[in-house]
A and B are shown apart, each in its own frame.
Chain A
Amino acid sequence: MSSGPLIEIRRLYKSYTRGGQAIPVLTDVSFEIGRGEFLALMGPSGSGKSTLLNCLAGIDRVDSGEIVVNGQDITLLDETDLARWRSRSVGFIFQFYNLIPVLTALENVELPLLLTGLTRRERREHAAAALAAVGLSDRSDHYPAQLSGGQQQRVAIARAVVTDPDILVADEPTGDLDRTSAEEILTLMNRLNQELEKTIIMVTHDPRAAQEAHVLRHLDKGELSRAADTPGR
């Protein structure tokens, strides 16, 4: 595997049309994300952070430009291939956890594994292991509504890592949590980055959250800048 950057973004353009008028969101964005990097993306509301993250994660389409991950330009994949790529390469962590309410914690974690060739038993084992890794083995049979916000987010993190993807994307993962839970989540994410060498891209408004990251980038009016004071660890 190449030792270069994991993700290369080149000349990315993205606009939304509203009322027949094109509103540019990302204009000529280019940057690289190294393997094993923990990147925090900050910027004012409406600056296009989520849009950029969604494009990187392969759930939104760009107007032009390239997103090369592991040597493969994902903007060229058709919908089916892109879905398969996501299921193997990306773990999602959402602000509102996005667990499936009718599935238990364990079943939620197992969900992405349904897209793999694993047997039922292997799936259960993997899911249980992931749930154990976030410290929620004793909550396997709980439904999301029976868990606190922090616990739900930990289940969501277990779901994000259960397929062992290279990349984790997190859009304001602590945005809906109290400070203590937020700290827990950030510590967990840091461990995933350190121990499992996950490349993490996290959008956040929270300076404390950004502090956990290695690299900090600011997005303003669709243009990207590397923060002068990238937090060191």
Chain B
Amino acid sequence: MVAHTELPAQVPHEKILNNKHFERCNNEKTPVNSAGGTKGKVHHQNGTTISTQNGYASPGYENSNVPNKKKIHQKEEECSIFVAFFTFLSYGVLLLVGHIKEFFSRATTKEKNREDIEECSPFTNFTIYLSYGVLFFVGYVKEFFYPPSTKEKNREGYVPLYIGFESFYTRNVYRRIQDCWNRTICSVPGAEIDLMERYTPDYGWTMKLTGKIIKCINAGSYNYLGFAENKGPCHDAAEHTTKEVGITTSSPRMELGTLEIHRELEQLVIEFLGVEDAITFGMGFATNVLNLPSLLDPSCLVLSDEFNHASLILGLRLSGATVKVFRHNNSEDLEKKLREALICGHPRTHRPWKKAIIVVEGIYSMEGSICDLPNFVRIKKKYKTYLYVDEAHSIGALGPNGGGVVDYYGVDPKEVDIQMGTFTKSFGAAGGYIAGSKDLINHLRVTSHAQIYASSMSPPVAQQIITSMSIIMGKKGSGEGRRRIQQLSRNVKYFRQRLRQMGFIVYGHDDSPVVPMILYLIPKIS
């Protein structure tokens, strides 16, 4: 810690003492540090004092004729009591301050997790409650004097369709800031977007368009790789397909809804993900809601992440399986809950579970965090459970080849039993897919609700996916796909870094293209 200087060579003390060059030092009783020819003491760093006889306290002089005169170790000069007191006082103060500081905030020497969530200051917390409290109070008072009069016409005597209290939040809080959502656009959602301006003539109860168009930089659409474009290869291919094959099939896949393009799409998905087989559906939300019930039944255990999407929640609810929720991205909590559930069995009958599935997402769209896939795979293997990863946001946006979170961590695709994803975000289209082993996909082809009852994917949409996926894979576009992936990654890093530098609190993983920037206070939003 402290610079340590030593004598140039380890000259033994006797040699120094015997050296006749030191004689002069001794006689004059002055310390000697340099070539000056004075006698005196040589102070070593380690505190010992050696009296010397000659002027030079330097090595190399061996032959000495001076007799061994032993010098008495003289007492060193002491500082005054005052100075000593102050020395102890200063040390005491420093130690006390250190103790107190570390009592309140423990010294963190561990490496900062890339996903640590910064907490806001207590003052901000207080103002949040204050703002909610004021809004609610004003709402209660207003509704006491002017009860909300949203009465239905032609339905006198009927049980009211809604419970008024449930829309309390909507009426009093959401209404004031609702300009932030449901904004209308009138251009392709690319890097720049044309927003249609709205105004409200009655404090937020209705919104009307003014007719003016505002050009904005688009940081709101889920267009990670920029494939939502109205020019270029994707557009041309979609146009060609529309003319050749039409825009609708009007039939489910099981009946007469399978076109060549669907088969081509599924082959491409298999190649892109490196799996055995894949199946596609016309809507991403429906992929989860309609397929989880065919994979799970009431005798299955599901461990689902806290912040899973509404489609997963609805799908799990419709399947009837027992769902246990573990803390977000926390593999220790997952392991604990999994162990408990496996040991106890079904909560009512205590029979052992038929199978257990862990359901997570690749990137969480509201938190911006990336799932801890390697740990989940480790736990899955240890406890013989299955893993379902919903890569709605991560497919195409993460990983060196755009292969999603599986590609990002370099995990073998066969380790993830059920890979699900959507084509809405990175591919600029619509629809979803599930990929996995051949048995799984065959089972889904036979029992999935969407295959049997819902119309198949529209052909131009399928073509858009095929074109964009080919570009990402490098089959078309001569390196355009790789360029886009790398550009996205650079943009993400730069944007997050700059936001943090400006002092904002930003959640989520450093590599995730979803960047939640926390504002905390409602009045700041609108």
**Mutual binders A and B:** no
